[in-house]
């Protein structure tokens, strides 16, 4: 299962995140803001990257505050995940979940 997730191209994941937050009346700009903060990628790259998640995160310049992302995603505490790549993917999921739940962008970005 993990290999399937690690091989998923980011450009297949991004539209799912966008749909999720737009259903909760959040904007693409807000999504891009938290994703650029977390990954270090610019907006254009977020919209067009075909890299599989394994390479996407290998090339990312993660925020130094990424380790402050805590909480539960899919029943698993993000901070207790031992596989570094899976933890990064779940951190990505967590910031999108927080945005969809109405949390302020500055709080999501741990500022």
Q: Nearest 10 degrees: CA dihedral of 74, 41, 39, 23?
A: -30
pLDDT (tens, 9 = 90+) of the chain, 111 residues, equals: 578 999 999 999 999 999 999 999 999 999 999 999 999 999 999 999 999 999 999 999 999 999 999 999 989 999 999 999 999 999 999 999 999 999 999 999 887
> Which domains, and CATH codes, for the chain?
2-108 (1.10.8.290)
DSSP 19-76: HHHHHTT--HHHHHHHHHHHH---HHHHHH---BHHHHHHH----TTGGG--SEETTE
Main-chain dihedrals φ then ψ at residue 96, nearest 5 degrees: -70, -40
């Amino acid at each position: 299962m993990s290999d399937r997730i690690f091989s998923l191209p980011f450009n297949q994941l991004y539209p799912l995140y966008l749909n999720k937050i737009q259903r909760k009346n959040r904007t693409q700009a807000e999504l891009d803001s938290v994703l650029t903060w977390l990954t270090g990628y610019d907006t254009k790259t977020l919209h067009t990257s075909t890299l599989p998640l394994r390479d996407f995160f290998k090339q990312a310049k993660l925020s130094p505050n990424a380790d402050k992302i805590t909480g539960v995603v899919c029943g698993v505490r993000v901070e207790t995940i031992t596989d570094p790549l899976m933890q990064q993917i779940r951190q990505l999921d967590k910031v999108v979940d927080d945005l969809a739940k109405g949390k302020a962008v500055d709080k999501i970005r741990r500022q």
